[in-house]
Amino acid sequence: MASARVVVGTVAGAVLLPLLAVPAHAGSPAAPAVDLTGLLGVLRSATEQGAPGSMARIDDGNSVYRAAAGVGDRKSEHTMSDTDRFRIGSVTKTFTAVVLLQLVDEKKLELDAPVNRYLPGLLPDDRITVRHVLSHRSGLYDYTNEMFAKTVQGFEAVRKKVFTPEELVKRSLRKPRTNAAGAVYAYSNTNFVVAGMLIEKLTGNPVRTEYEKRIIEPLQLRDTFYVHPGMKIPGPHARGYLTPDQAGAPLVDATEQTVSWAQSAGALISSTRDLNTFLSALLGGRLTSAAQLAQMERWMPAGSGQAYGLGLRRRDLSCGVSVYGHTGAVQGFYTYAFASKDGKRALAAVANTSNNGTVLNTMLRTLDSAFCGKATKAPRGKAPVERHEDMAPAVTLD
């Protein structure tokens, strides 16, 4: 076994935080070594493209890589740190799906039963099943398309508002459905608002209680919170900055908000450490039965190089490796949280800006650095364009 060592230094303007070298056996035996230099280059690029700061953490067996660039607070110039908490946006959806899959294990829920069996009269079509909701195949319109058609104006209109889940579903139902139940994948935050309603109906508890009891406390996730409708991020945290639609306009500090527009679709707070712990536990089979994890990994096409299961995304990387997790975009933060198939290597990366498609696409490259190793050739063709799915498509790159 190779001995671990601690390294502290700087690379190309990015901060290299304490690093443990990877033992030969860490993670998957055949996995390429982490490309730390490449990772730091990605983080530095994100800050050059408009993110005040960015950071990433890789957990690989007993070894940990931590890297950061830029600042987590523009006023204090506090540097980004992997101890900082942040809003994880739609990575929340994976937590929500895990709770529902646990309820399937407990025989309290059937994936192929109509949602209306459990929430009578909520949806206009009895053919929409729990599986359709968790796989974004319900056809329910995403109410955030209209809510955030104007980025800053839309955000300020809801920053302090508190919605009931029923109000959010009603906003969706004012619009025609995007497709027939079960037909195709069409991402919609409405689906996971419905999922949260299912959790509360079947358990009799708020979603916060179920997240804590089933995931946060068993995994000892000390940085993970569901504070809705509270507006503050507790403890040490990075501040999040929303990019206006108008080029050159100053960034808007979006850190404090209820996130009531998202709730069980996107309101959790966490850290890079906790996200890696969560995904490693999930993919390692410690949160659901093997049967339910297999259900989460029943993939449907979801865009170039992607597939979607039940609250879980698969990405197929440039080196042929597939990784599993979720992306998150909420005002002020972009998050990538993915792990290897066995959960032994996990990456969580965040930039503290949003509504900046260039930064979003740049942060996608952290996955290659973490799971593909050092590239021997520059990739050919244009970089893939990432769809910013937590917000209105009109304000993102297509």
Residue type, 64: V
Distance of CA 257 to the CA centre of its chain: 18
Query: First vs last Cα of the chain: how many Å apart?
Result: 47
Residues 176-232: pLDDT tens digits?
A: 999 999 999 999 999 999 999 999 999 999 999 999 999 999 999 999 999 999 999
Mean of pLDDT over the chain: 89
Residues 137-158: pLDDT tens digits?
A: 999 999 999 999 999 999 999 9
For the record, the structure tokens of 238 come out as 């990075």
172 is catalytic: no
User: What's the rounded Cα separation, in Å, for the pair 171 and 336?
Assistant: 28
DSSP state of 237: B
Residue with tokens 């502290």: 8
For the record, the structure tokens of 47 come out as 């800050």
Return the closest-CA partner of residue 224 out of 280, 257, 268, 276: 268
Residues 33-59: pLDDT tens digits?
A: 999 999 999 999 999 999 999 999 999
Return the closest-CA partner of residue 149 out of 134, 180, 164, 171: 171
Return the closest-CA partner of residue 366 out of 78, 116, 55, 127: 55
Q: What integer pLDDT is reported at residue 375 of this predicted model?
A: 65
User: What's the rounded Cα separation, in Å, for the pair 108 and 117?
Assistant: 12
* Dihedral of the alpha carbons of 214, 284, 309, 362, in degrees to the nearest 10: 100
Distance of CA 217 to the CA centre of its chain: 20
Distance of CA 220 to the CA centre of its chain: 19
User: What's the rounded Cα separation, in Å, for the pair 259 and 147?
Assistant: 13
- Whether residue 376 has pLDDT greater than 90: no
Q: What integer pLDDT is reported at residue 31 of this predicted model?
A: 79
Range scoring the smallest mean pLDDT among 51-60, 252-261, 375-384: 375-384
- Whether residue 159 has pLDDT greater than 90: yes
Cβ pair 223, 275 in contact under 8 A? no
Please identify which of the residues 45, 63, 90, 340 carries the catalytic annotation: 90
User: What's the rounded Cα separation, in Å, for the pair 138 and 178?
Assistant: 9
Q: What integer pLDDT is reported at residue 30 of this predicted model?
A: 67
